[in-house]
């Protein structure tokens, strides 16, 4: 299969791209190929395919919320060519068998490359290390381990996990949440929670764990990744740790780049998420941190739920938001269109760096001759209104519903094969 | 205004209007025949997901005295205990033709959700939601104050009210701060730092941790003691104060503090009381106490709220 993409913007200039045999076969102006499908990409920008280090695909066990098939269709629609599937499935992805099952389901679906994340502890219970080595050695070749949804709160266990994964260049992705400080917490602790009578979720519950973990990572010389960082204080701690030379990386979600706890005033559970939506000052701090590289990547924390899990009163509702199909637009809106960062930096934060942190070969690479043809074509000038019902994900819990956003994914290619064309999925 | 979800839904004119109508309703309750035909043919549902005999009975009496048909729906022993959601319960009541739904729920914001999620077309009255608000309690407290303070002129502007105790878990305190501020009163919240919510500094009131200093300095017109909500303070949620004895000494209203109050200061409590903890029997039963009167005033205030909402005569936006 050959595709010739003409007049596309790559980096700072306009060029043509020839995709053949799964790789970028040629780059340059005025390319031609008789047997290629020709795509006029005037006005479009080509980026390396996006990589999401933090996706909840829910399968096995919660297929009512999402399946690997529906979740990866959603990812392709969002411009992704690879996603890391979080371990909080049923059963938990804490054995070689489960991670291989997830990997196989991803291959069968064929929309994006699925890399399973392995649980740090058995059953996410925070008591005993899972068989991290077996998962690393399995066909799924797990390199990212996380109890996401739960914090590895035991300092000794966290230290052991950090030490243990050094044997196979793994990384512990920590959901930073001190559990005693967030018992029963419903939303960000502050002036809004005080008015609404919802139990507050203090910033310090996140910051205290990050502070502890960067010191542990420093102490044992291991790689730590901070999941969905959300507060100004967390940014400051990571910035300090990086200056100190700690091997720490961090992610922020699109929703924490845009939304604040003021939205909770209507008690609509679509805004209920873990960590909670914070204040405008926090939003500004995470944007600044993402721009200056303190925060390494944008990760969606795509968390689909069945309708009934959100169509209820606030305290009964599940936490989480979908995000795969809106991430690129939200990042363009909050970071690029505001002048905080350019497209090259966006590529780093949404493709190259997550692939690097996850030790994912073949993704996040520049669109250069010989590299795998994993790429996305986006129309930065397009504007669209978010309609959850029109999304490929099974989840309808998008906090961006009804919002007009810039940037539209026009096409996605996985190893040269289109998964999305004209913004519609292309059956593999 | 279609619903009453928060004391903040009422601007000054609307709040005064409710209180004035409550006066009229109270006058009818002094007659031999207490029942009015006002809401004949209308259906009011008391939807109580939490036990509260006092509030439910008060709303029931109010609705019945306005001749409304009343359906009491409690969660215990109902379909809710079998797992039915708030939404499905609401849809069932909607199918039965509820004109007003009086809802008590353990989850903050549940009445707001009921009013705005399209599950019911009836008027929603918040009868207490989680640790959020209890607006009709605030109205009956204000009504009680109007009868006692400022020579019963009905104007609370400039009145000094001290609210003491477990503010963190109190929906009564939240609603009272909002309503009393709207009516021009000055509110001071007094509590240990652990029982004041983070963010309280944005509320339209003052705060203090020193009850004696507040009482001595402030010469309050009313002192409202809050119930210590021990059920929300079990060990797993952390210790909010060291012991009942220490709490009582620092924040309880007993004989000594009662003696510090000006002669015409009234003592209030939303009930039920923890006698000997936040309030002594001497204070609760003193001539200053309006605690029993508050309960009686609740019926008149709730008659006013139901009447105004169902008659569409409560000014204000679509809350």
Cβ neighbour number for residue B151 with a 10 Å cutoff: 8
A275 in contact with B at a CB cutoff of 8 Å? Answer: no
B chain contacts of residue A202, beta-carbon cutoff 8 Å: 198
How close is the nearest chain A Cα to the Cα of B138, in Å? 15
B132 Cα to chain A: minimum distance (Å): 4
Question: Could you tell me the two tokens for A272?
Answer: 């209920």
All residues of chain A having their beta carbon less than 8 Å from the beta carbon of residue B235 are: none
pLDDT tens readout for residues B170-223: 999 999 999 999 999 999 999 999 999 999 999 999 999 999 999 999 899 999
- B79 pLDDT band, cuts 50/70/90, is low
Q: Do A190 and B116 touch (CB under 8 A)?
A: no
pLDDT-based confidence at B84, cuts 50/70/90?
confident
More confident residue, B318 or B244: B244
Q: Is A395 helix (H, G, I), strand (E, B) or coil?
A: coil
Written as six digits, the tokens of B154 are 């009905």
pLDDT of B237 over the 60 cut: no
> Quick one: DSSP state of residue A350?
I
Cβ atoms < 10 Å from Cβ of A243: 9
Which among A198, A266, A312 is the nearest to B86, CB-wise?
A312
Per the CB < 8 A criterion, the answer to whether B126 and B103 are in contact is yes
Q: Give tens-digit pLDDT for B270-317.
A: 989 999 999 999 999 999 999 999 999 999 999 999 999 998 877 775
In this predicted structure, the answer to whether residue B20 has a pLDDT above a threshold of 90 is yes
Instruction: Spell out which residues of chain A touch residue B171, defining contact as CB-CB under 8 Å.
Output: 197
ipTM of the complex: 0.88
Q: How far apart are CA B80 and CA A22, in angstroms?
A: 56
CB contact under 8 A, B199 and A199: no
Which of B189, B263, B279 is closest to B225 using CA atoms?
B279
Q: Is there a contact between B307 and B22 (Cβ–Cβ < 8 Å)?
A: no
Peptide bond into A275 cis (omega under 30): yes
- Structure token pair of residue A112: 């994006």
**Which chain A residue shows the shortest CA-CA distance from B128?**
A197
The CA distances from residue A204 to A122, A217, B117, in Å, are 27, 19, 33
- Is position A228 annotated in a ligand binding site? yes
Phi–psi pair at B116, nearest 5 degrees: -115, -5
Mean pLDDT value of segment B78-105: 84
Contact B197 A194 (CB under 8 A): yes
pLDDT at residue A279, rounded to an integer: 98
Tell me whether residues B85 and A316 touch, CB distance under 8 A.
Answer: yes
Q: Which of A200, A266, A313 sits opposite B198 (nearest CB)?
A: A200
The whole-number pLDDT of residue B208 equals 97
Using a CB-CB cut-off of 8 Å, the residues of chain B touching A266 are 112, 116
Secondary structure of residue B283 in the 3-state scheme: helix
Residues of A in contact with B116 (CB under 8 A): 266
Mean pLDDT of A37-53: 98
Q: Closest partner residue to B199 among A184, A190, A308, by Cβ? A: A190
For A260-301, what is each residue's pLDDT tens digit?
A: 999 999 999 999 999 999 999 999 999 999 999 999 999 999
Q: Can you tell me the distance from the alpha carbon of B172 to that of B156, in angstroms, rounded to the nearest whole number?
A: 18
Of the candidates B86, B133, B198, which has its C-beta nearest A194's C-beta?
Answer: B198
Could you report the per-residue pLDDT of A80-104, keeping only the tens digit for each? 999 999 999 999 999 999 999 999 9
d(C-alpha A30, C-alpha A7), whole Å: 9
Residue carrying structure tokens 């980026």? A47
Stretch among A162-166, A232-236, B73-77 having the lowest mean pLDDT: B73-77
CA distance A410 to A396: 22
Within the 155-184 window of chain A, which residues sit less than 8 Å (CB to CB) from chain B?
A: 180, 183-184
Residue B29 confidence class, pLDDT cut points 50, 70, 90: confident
pLDDT at B313: 78
Does pLDDT of B236 surpass 80?
no
Q: For the segment A325-383, what is each residue's pLDDT rounded down to a tens digit?
A: 999 999 999 999 999 999 999 999 999 999 999 999 999 999 999 999 999 999 999 99
Provide the terminal-to-terminal Cα distance of chain B, rounded to the nearest Å.
6
Question: Could you tell me if A320 and A275 are in contact, meaning their C-beta atoms sit under 8 angstroms apart?
Answer: no
CB contact under 8 A, B174 and A197: yes
Q: Is A186 within 8 Å of B197 when comparing Cβ atoms?
A: no
Residues of A in contact with B88 (CB under 8 A): none
Q: Helical H runs in A293-410?
A: 327-331, 343-347, 353-357
Judged against a pLDDT cut of 90, whether residue A1 lies above it is answered with no
Nearest CA in chain A to B234: A183
Among A189, A268, A312, beta carbon nearest to B198: A189
Average model confidence (pLDDT) across chain A: 97
The residue of chain B nearest to residue A309, with distances taken between CA atoms, is B85
Is any Cβ of chain B less than 8 angstroms from the Cβ of A189?
yes
Check CB contact under 8 Å for A190 and B198. yes
Q: Which of residues 94-153 of B touch A (CB under 8 A)?
A: 105-110, 112-114, 116-117, 129-133
* A/B interface, count of CB pairs below 8 Å: 85
**Is residue A54 a known part of a binding site?**
yes
The pLDDT confidence band at residue B78, using thresholds 50, 70 and 90, is: low
Options A147, A301, A348, A379, the catalytic residue: A301
| Nearest-10 Cα torsion for A26, A27, A32, A38 | 100
Residues B75-97, mean pLDDT to the nearest whole number: 79
* B197 vs A: CB within 8 A: yes
- For residues A249 and A217, give the distance between their C-alpha atoms in angstroms, rounded to a whole number: 11
Sequence-distant (6+) residues with CB within 8 A of B232 are B131, B169
Provide the 3-class DSSP secondary structure of residue B158.
coil
Residue of A197, A198, A262, A272 to mutate for B, most B C-beta atoms under 10 A? A197
Nearest to B8 by CA among B182, B204, B201: B182
pLDDT of residue B12 exceeding 90, the answer is: yes
pLDDT at B82: 64
Helix axes B171-182, B12-28, angle to 10 degrees: 110
Collapsed DSSP state (helix, strand, coil) of residue A281: helix
**Known catalytic membership, residue A296:** no
What do you get for the CA distance between the two ends of chain A, in Å?
13
- A425 token code pair: 């999925």
Q: Give B-chain residues touching A183 at CB under 8 angstroms.
A: 236-238
Q: What is the pLDDT of residue B52?
A: 85
Percentage of residues in chain A having pLDDT higher than 70 = 100
């Amino acid at each position: 299969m050959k595709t010739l993409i003409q007049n596309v913007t790559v980096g700072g200039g306009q060029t043509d791209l020839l995709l053949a045999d799964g790789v970028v076969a040629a780059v340059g102006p005025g390319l031609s190929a008789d047997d290629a499908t020709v795509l006029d990409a005037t006005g479009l920008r080509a980026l390396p395919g996006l990589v999401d280090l933090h996706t909840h695909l829910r399968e096995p066990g919660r297929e009512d919320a999402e399946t690997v098939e529906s979740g990866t269709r959603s990812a392709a629609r969002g411009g992704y060519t690879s996603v890391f599937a979080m371990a909080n499935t049923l059963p938990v992805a804490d054995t070689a068998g489960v991670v291989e099952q997830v990997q196989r389901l991803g291959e069968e679906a064929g929309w994006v490359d699925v890399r399973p994340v392995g649980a740090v502890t058995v059953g996410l219970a925070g008591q005993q290390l899972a068989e991290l080595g077996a998962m690393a050695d399995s066909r799924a070749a797990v390199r990212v381990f996380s109890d996401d949804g739960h914090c590895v709160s035991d300092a000794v266990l966290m230290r052991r996990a950090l030490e243990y994964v050094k044997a196979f260049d793994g990384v512990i992705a920590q959901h930073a949440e001190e559990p005693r400080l967030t018992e029963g917490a419903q939303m960000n602790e502050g002036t809004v929670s005080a008015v609404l009578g919802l139990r507050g979720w203090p910033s310090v519950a996140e910051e205290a764990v990050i502070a502890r973990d960067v010191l542990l990572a420093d102490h044992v010389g291991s790689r730590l990744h901070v999941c969905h960082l959300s507060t100004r204080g967390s940014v400051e701690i990571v910035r300090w740790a990086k200056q100190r030379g700690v091997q720490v990386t961090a992610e922020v979600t699109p929703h924490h780049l845009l939304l604040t706890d003021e939205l909770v005033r209507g008690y609509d559970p679509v805004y209920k998420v873990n960590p909670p939506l914070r204040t405008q000052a926090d939003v500004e701090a995470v944007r600044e941190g993402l721009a200056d590289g303190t925060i390494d990547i944008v990760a969606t924390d795509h968390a689909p739920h069945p309708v009934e899990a959100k169509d209820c009163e606030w305290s009964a509702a599940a936490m989480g938001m979908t995000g795969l199909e809106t991430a690129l637009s939200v990042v363009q809106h909050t970071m690029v269109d505001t002048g905080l960062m350019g497209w090259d930096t966006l590529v780093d934060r949404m493709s190259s760096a997550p692939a690097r942190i996850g030790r994912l070969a073949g993704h996040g690479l520049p669109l250069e001759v010989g590299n795998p043809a994993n790429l996305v074509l986006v129309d930065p000038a397009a504007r669209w209104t978010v309609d959850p019902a029109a999304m490929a994900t099974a989840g309808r819990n998008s906090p961006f519903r009804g919002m007009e956003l810039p940037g539209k994914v026009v096409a996605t290619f996985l190893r040269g094969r289109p998964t999305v064309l004209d913004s519609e999925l292309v059956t593999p | 205004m279609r619903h009453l979800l928060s004391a903040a839904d009422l601007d000054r004119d609307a709040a005064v209007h409710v209180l004035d109508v409550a006066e009229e309703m109270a006058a009818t309750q002094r007659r031999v025949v207490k029942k009015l035909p006002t809401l004949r043919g209308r259906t009011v549902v008391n939807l109580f997901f939490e036990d509260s005999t006092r509030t439910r009975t008060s709303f029931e009496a109010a609705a019945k005295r306005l001749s409304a048909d009343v359906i009491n729906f409690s969660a215990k022993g109902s379909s809710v205990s079998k797992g039915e959601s708030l939404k499905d319960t609401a849809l069932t009541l909607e199918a039965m033709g509820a004109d007003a739904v009086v809802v008590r729920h353990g989850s903050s914001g549940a009445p707001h959700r009921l009013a705005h999620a399209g599950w019911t077309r009836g008027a929603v009255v918040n009868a207490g939601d989680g640790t959020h608000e209890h607006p009709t309690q605030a109205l009956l407290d204000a009504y009680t104050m109007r009868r006692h303070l400022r020579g019963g002129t009905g104007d609370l502007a400039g009145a000094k009210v001290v609210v003491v105790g477990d503010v963190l878990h109190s929906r009564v305190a939240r609603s009272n701060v909002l309503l009393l501020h709207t009516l021009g009163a000055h509110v001071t919240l007094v509590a240990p730092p652990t029982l004041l919510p983070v963010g309280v500094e944005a509320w339209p009131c003052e705060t203090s941790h020193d009850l004696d200093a507040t009482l001595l300095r402030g010469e309050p017109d009313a002192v409202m003691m809050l119930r210590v909500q021990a059920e929300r303070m079990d060990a797993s949620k952390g210790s909010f104060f060291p012991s009942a004895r220490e709490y009582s000494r620092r924040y309880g209203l007993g004989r000594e503090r009662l003696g510090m109050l000006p002669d015409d200061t009234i003592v209030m409590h939303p009930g039920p009381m923890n006698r000997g903890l936040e309030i002594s029997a001497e204070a609760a039963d003193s001539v200053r106490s309006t605690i029993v009167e508050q309960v009686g005033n609740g019926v008149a205030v709730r008659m006013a709220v139901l009447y105004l909402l169902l008659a569409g005569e409560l000014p204000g936006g679509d809350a």
